[in-house]
A and B are shown apart, each in its own frame.
Chain A
Amino acid sequence: MTELGKVYGKTSSQFAAEATRLAVADAGLLLSDVDGLLISAGVANDVGLELQVDLELRDLKLLTQMQAFGSTAGAMVQFASMAVEAGMAEVVVCVFGDAPLKEGAGAGDAYGAGHRAHSGWTGLQRSTGVVTPNVLYSLAARRHMLRYGTTSEQLGAIAVAQRDWAALNPLAQMRTPITIADHQQSRIISDPFHLFDCCLVSNGGVAVVVSTAERARDLQQPAVDVLGWAQSHPGARSRRDDNFGLVTGAARSGPAAMSMAGVTVDDIDLVEIYDCYTYTALVTLEDYGFCAKGAGGEFVSTPGNIGPAGKLKMNTGGGQLSSYYMWGMTPLSEAVLQARGQAGARQQDRHELVLVSGNGGILDHHSTLILGS
């Protein structure tokens, strides 16, 4: 992991290159050991295959950009795992780099360039004000509220719990504790979302190295096993009886990944859930089966369920809401730190089984990993 957050003066590619060098060195490997490279970038999608040349990687057996939005990180680990299992490559780096924050510009302007279409179907949506993920996700959240009675204060319970975790994480951008009242008083972004319902915007890079169990055993870090995985891409139907906002791809991806690993939700020690919004974390918890469908609001707002003192150890680094926003690398990086037993003040004693989720588009793409230590 590079330095993360308000870090300026580097391009996405430079962050990705730095993250790769750091991850390879962390594993006790040399760049010359790398024979596979999977590349992911943020909304601007500005890290290309040239990263191989930047890093002077020679004779790669596997190289591609991958794009499944916020589910990419999990998907990269899945494809890398299949590649090393198949013998196609032995040391595969999965890397993400992004630099949406510009010095002197607000975080709200970071992703503006993608919304400038003035013609066509996109232009028509934009014309009438249907523009940002903030708006689209808030429409999903409202639907959940209408159907199940979920409240803004219940969403706020997730923001508060994750800030409490972030206070224990030196890598987190936002470490000052907040209350439900702070959440309710934070400015409206797209009602029902307040500012504290929304993820951060961060610059930086994160990489993981995927290898065979045999090779990993002799490296300098504790190996993290990839025990199960799955994806689900429901395909937006956008018509009568659509379950938009109510059920996501997590409902299929989660059980499939847990089945592959031979575990159930009761076995999971830690959950690192993609939390672009508080609501995203809530609906994912329901879809994975950590609580009943529609009961997410009550579950997260009942004292003793989430947060550092809670029964369910969720988003132990503060998540995208309070630590850093590296797409799917946020939950994945925290999962790896916890599984390796290296999470410092927030390290959990029980870290044998860690569930990691990724979510992309407007709840369009989902990936799940089950990691073991």
Chain B
Amino acid sequence: MNVQPVARDTATAAFFAGTARGVFLLRRSARSGEIVPPSAVQDSVGNTDLDWVEASGRGRVVSWAFVPQRAADSDTPLELTIGVVELDEGPWWWTQLIDVDRDNIVEGLRVRAVFTKSGPAETDEYVPVFAPDEPLSAAASNTVSVAS
């Protein structure tokens, strides 16, 4: 994983407040019920009554690219996987995919958001990247083991 520092501005403040507590926020028109991306300023027919709603943070991979990085301070070649994720609520999200490689990535791969701090400074926000989603059974057994 390799993320660069990003700070909030007025438009992104609510979204980053969500990522800081591990929640992926989308927006929904109270009138139409349509769910739109967090950056949207209206729904598809012009309703601007957008509420922030907690999304599942889960989705499926639509497309991906392996992008070599120029590392200034290292001889180790670094490669990022950049992908398009279709969130279960419908909107697409352009993002970094982690824990995937040429052998395990497929169209439709189930993924979930992982929130990572984008830099060391206090103003560096948490950003979502996406990792393969664990099967529900495995996630459930983890929960049990933590509880015991």
Q: Report yes or no: B127 in contact with A127, Cβ–Cβ below 8 A.
A: yes
* Complex interface: chain A residues within 8 A of B83 (CB): 139
Bound state CA distance, A129 and B70, in angstroms?
12
Q: Report yes or no: A239 in contact with B90, Cβ–Cβ below 8 A.
A: yes
Bound state CA distance, A125 and B80, in angstroms?
14
* Complex interface: chain A residues within 8 A of B127 (CB): 124, 127-128
List A residues at the B interface (Cβ < 8 Å).
118-121, 123-130, 134-136, 138-140, 142-143, 146, 187-193, 238-240, 242, 244-245
Which of B5, B38, B67 touches A127 (beta carbons < 8 Å)?
B5
Q: Report yes or no: A126 in contact with B6, Cβ–Cβ below 8 A.
A: yes
Of the A-B pairs whose beta carbons lie under 8 Å apart in the complex, a sample of 17, sorted by A's number, is: A118-B6, A120-B11, A121-B38, A123-B12, A127-B5, A128-B3, A128-B95, A130-B82, A139-B84, A146-B63, A146-B107, A188-B68, A189-B68, A190-B65, A191-B67, A240-B90, A240-B91
Which of A118, A119, A128, A142 touches B129 (beta carbons < 8 Å)?
A128
**Contacts A129-B82, A191-B67; A121 near B91 (Cβ below 8 A):** no
Which of B9, B11, B63, B92 has its CB near the most chain A CB atoms (within 10 A)? B63
**Contacts A139-B83, A143-B63, A244-B84; A130 near B7 (Cβ below 8 A):** no
**Contacts A119-B6, A119-B9; A127 near B65 (Cβ below 8 A):** no
How many interface residues does B have (CB within 8 Å)? 38
* Complex interface: chain A residues within 8 A of B4 (CB): 118, 126-127, 129
Q: Report yes or no: A129 in contact with B96, Cβ–Cβ below 8 A.
A: yes
Q: Report yes or no: A124 in contact with B6, Cβ–Cβ below 8 A.
A: yes
- Interface membership of B62, Cβ < 8 A: yes
- Of chain A, the residue at the smallest CB distance from B35 is A239
Q: Report yes or no: A139 in contact with B82, Cβ–Cβ below 8 A.
A: yes
Bound state CA distance, A119 and B11, in angstroms?
10
Query: In the complex, how many angstroms separate the beta carbon of B53 from the nearest chain A beta carbon?
Result: 15
* Complex interface: chain B residues within 8 A of A125 (CB): 94
* Complex interface: chain A residues within 8 A of B15 (CB): 124
**B55-95 near A? 1/0 per residue, CB < 8 Å:** 00000001111111000000000001011101000111011
- Of chain B, the residue at the smallest CB distance from A138 is B65
Bound state CA distance, A307 and B129, in angstroms?
42
- Of chain A, the residue at the smallest CB distance from B96 is A128
Q: Report yes or no: B63 in contact with A123, Cβ–Cβ below 8 A.
A: no
Bound state CA distance, A124 and B113, in angstroms?
14
Bound state CA distance, A123 and B7, in angstroms?
8
Q: Report yes or no: A118 in contact with B7, Cβ–Cβ below 8 A.
A: yes
- Of chain B, the residue at the smallest CB distance from A193 is B65
Bound state CA distance, A217 and B83, in angstroms?
53
Bound state CA distance, A118 and B128, in angstroms?
16
Q: Report yes or no: B96 in contact with A190, Cβ–Cβ below 8 A.
A: no
Query: In the complex, how many angstroms separate the beta carbon of A356 from the nearest chain B beta carbon?
Result: 29
Q: Report yes or no: B7 in contact with A129, Cβ–Cβ below 8 A.
A: no
**B102-113 near A? 1/0 per residue, CB < 8 Å:** 000001000000
Bound state CA distance, A191 and B5, in angstroms?
25
* Complex interface: chain A residues within 8 A of B48 (CB): none
Which of A123, A193, A242 touches B92 (beta carbons < 8 Å)?
A242
Q: Report yes or no: B63 in contact with A121, Cβ–Cβ below 8 A.
A: no
Query: In the complex, how many angstroms separate the beta carbon of A328 from the nearest chain B beta carbon?
Result: 25
Bound state CA distance, A352 and B86, in angstroms?
46
- Interface membership of B118, Cβ < 8 A: yes
Contacts A129-B2, A188-B66 known; list 12 others, CB within 8 Å.
A118-B7, A119-B7, A124-B127, A129-B80, A134-B67, A138-B65, A138-B67, A143-B84, A189-B68, A190-B66, A239-B37, A240-B86
Q: Which 4 A-B pairs rank lowest in CB-CB distance, beginning with the nearest?
A: A191-B66, A127-B6, A138-B65, A128-B96
* Complex interface: chain B residues within 8 A of A191 (CB): 65-67
* Complex interface: chain B residues within 8 A of A123 (CB): 6-7, 9, 12
* Complex interface: chain B residues within 8 A of A119 (CB): 6-9, 12
